[in-house]
Chain A
Amino acid sequence: MRALSTTGVEAPELNVSSTPAVKASSVSKSFAGSLVIEGINLTVEQGEFIALIGASGCGKTTLLRMCAGLEQPSSGLIEIFGKPPAAATSAHEIGVAFQRPALVPCRTALENVRLTLKITGSDDAMDPLAVLTHFGLEEALNLYPHELSGGMQQRVNIACALVHQPALLLLDEPFGALDEITRERLVDWLAGILRESSRTTILVTHSVEEAVTLSTRVFVMSRRPGRIAAEIKVPLPTIRDFEIRQSEQFLGLVRSARDALHSALAD
């Protein structure tokens, strides 16, 4: 566990000497000749929490899919923990929560989470029951996906992504269909468990506040073809309680992230 900052201003310390969790070197991607992502350079150190914001259709999902080895860059190179993404997936180092929940329809919420463990065969896994209970789903354990609300499905989806304790967590707008209260609870809980481990996370979100609340760095992507238009460092203490979220510093960071997003869209 990392030491808590006492002054409340320092960035959490990172072990920069180790291999980066994600290293993208001039990555471009086009689909059927049309350019979607252009020359992205991105290095995410182990233990970092990165937030990715940008307009709809700018290639955020595509970037995550390339990190997960589901899509090949048209040019450039992506390395996960110094290996090709395929090697990282075969080592069960990656957990993905897709934008739209991807659950097995014939299995209940609990069975879906358990199935993830069965496939990965992880010995260092969380207890599926505990995770779902933490997500406020104790009533819904034995419901099938089509019996769950959209927000409940999303929570099961996140549970499936992290239950096998992957070293790299890729979250694609995971809180989209949640109400304000559940969303805040989940964000807090996620921040909590991520702090306790050395897990690296990339979070795609449309909420600037969420990005600043959770991340160590916020990346703003330009319109399609997506490039990294700006990077905002978030030098807040790891625990960002209500007080910190009301602080001038926090609000200033939100403002500058929002400005960066607006100017990225104006280009």
Chain B
Amino acid sequence: MSSRTAAFLFAPSAVIVWYGIIWIGHLAPTVLPPPHLVVALMAQEWQFLLWNTYVTLTTAVTGYFFANVVAISMAIAFLYSDALKSLATPWVVVLKNLPIISVASLLIISFGDSPVPRILVVILICFHPILANLIKGFEQVDPNLISRFQTLHASRFQLFRYVLWPNALPYYAAAHEVAFTSSIVAAVLAEFFFSRQGLGFMLTQAMNDYRGDRLWATNIIIATLSAAALGLSVLAERVLIPWRSKGSKRFGKPRS
């Protein structure tokens, strides 16, 4: 079976499993609302849901954009300055390994109830996979290729433009599969703790109100957004690096 068929089968089989669990466990709608109730709620509250989806998406995309700017600038700076790389590495390691919740609480204290801390949370979560992959992409260039360009007396810029950057592109594209999906998760997470709007905020509200149907509706939206983010990154990969997706994947694709 092709992976495409399997993907199409996913939604109907999820519905069947969902009904099956309710039927086997004799679960009340308050414990696990059946799909048709969730769909009914989505139809009823679609404006509210759409607005909150918009809020979350704005946070995720803005944060993601800046995560890319930060990661690309850092990777290029590290490429040309070992000193900078050594100086920055402890910072990167600490930032990456701090529990995001604790960093987020610090941010909310400093920035208050504004979009800034939420966007910062998205940046913090997303920049690292992009940075790590770009660094790897720059490091994994065939040394003979660099040597050959040196014998042609290529300038630093030419070496970057024609050798280093194209070589890092597949790694960069692979990073999006991880990082773009986590931007949605990060935005929801930030809203969950520090917001009065957005899908994350909806989750907390639905939990407080014991509204299983709203909780499920929100979760379905989040899952759809993450899947769409993944789909977009795969598409972007195809556009960014046609020389890999074209024909056979003899060398596979780099791990993220």
Name A residues whose Cβ lies closer than 8 Å to a Cβ of B: 65, 68-70, 89-92, 94-96, 98, 100, 102-107, 115-116, 119-120, 144, 146-147, 160, 164
Contact = CB atoms under 8 A, between A and B. Distances in A.
B149 A70 contact: no
B156 interface: no
Nearest to B246: A144
Contacts of B244: 146
B158 interface: yes
Contacts of B162: 104, 115, 119
Interface stretch (B51-59, B79-87, B128-136, B140-148): B140-148
A70 B243 contact: no
B248 interface: yes
A96 B149 CA distance: 10
A3 to B, nearest CB: 33
A69 B247 CA distance: 38
B248 A160 contact: no
B151 A100 contact: no
A69 B251 CA distance: 32
B149 A119 contact: yes
A94 B151 contact: yes
B167 A105 contact: yes
B45 to A, nearest CB: 48
Nearest to B240: A106
Q: How large is the interface on B (under 10, 10 to 19, 20 to 34, 35 or more residues)?
A: 20 to 34
A164 B247 CA distance: 31
Interface string B147-162: 1111111100010001
A103 B152 CA distance: 13
B250 interface: yes
A98 B248 contact: no
A103 B147 contact: no
A89 B166 CA distance: 24
A146 B150 contact: no
Contact of A120 (B147, B152, B243): B152
Interface in B101-158: 142, 144-145, 147-154, 158
Contact of A98 (B144, B153, B163, B166): B144
B147 A92 contact: no
Given A70-B147, A106-B166, A106-B169, A92 B246 contact: no
Interface of chain B, main secondary structure? helix
B77 interface: no
11 contacts: A68-B147, A68-B151, A70-B150, A100-B142, A104-B162, A104-B163, A106-B241, A107-B166, A119-B153, A146-B244, A146-B250
Contacts of B250: 146-147
A91 B251 CA distance: 36
Contacts of A69: 150-151
A100 B143 CA distance: 11
Contact of A96 (B151, B154, B163): B151
A91 B150 CA distance: 12
Contact of B144 (A92, A94, A100, A164): A100
Given A104-B162, A106-B169, A98 B148 contact: yes
B153 A102 contact: no
Nearest to B142: A102
Given A90-B153, A144-B246, A98 B147 contact: yes
Given A104-B162, A104-B166, A147 B247 contact: yes
Interface in B222-256: 241, 243-244, 246-248, 250-251
A91 B153 CA distance: 8
Contacts of B166: 104-107
B242 to A, nearest CB: 8
Contacts of A70: 147, 150-151
A105 B142 CA distance: 10
List 3 A-B pairs, minimum CB-CB distance, nearest first. Answer: A102-B144, A106-B166, A102-B145
Best-surrounded residue of B142, B154, B243, B248 (most CB of chain A within 10 A): B243
Given A90-B153, A120-B153, 11 more contacts: A65-B147, A96-B148, A98-B144, A102-B142, A102-B145, A104-B163, A119-B149, A119-B162, A146-B250, A147-B248, A160-B148
A17 B147 CA distance: 32
B145 A104 contact: yes
A146 to B, nearest CB: 5
B152 A119 contact: yes
Nearest to A160: B148
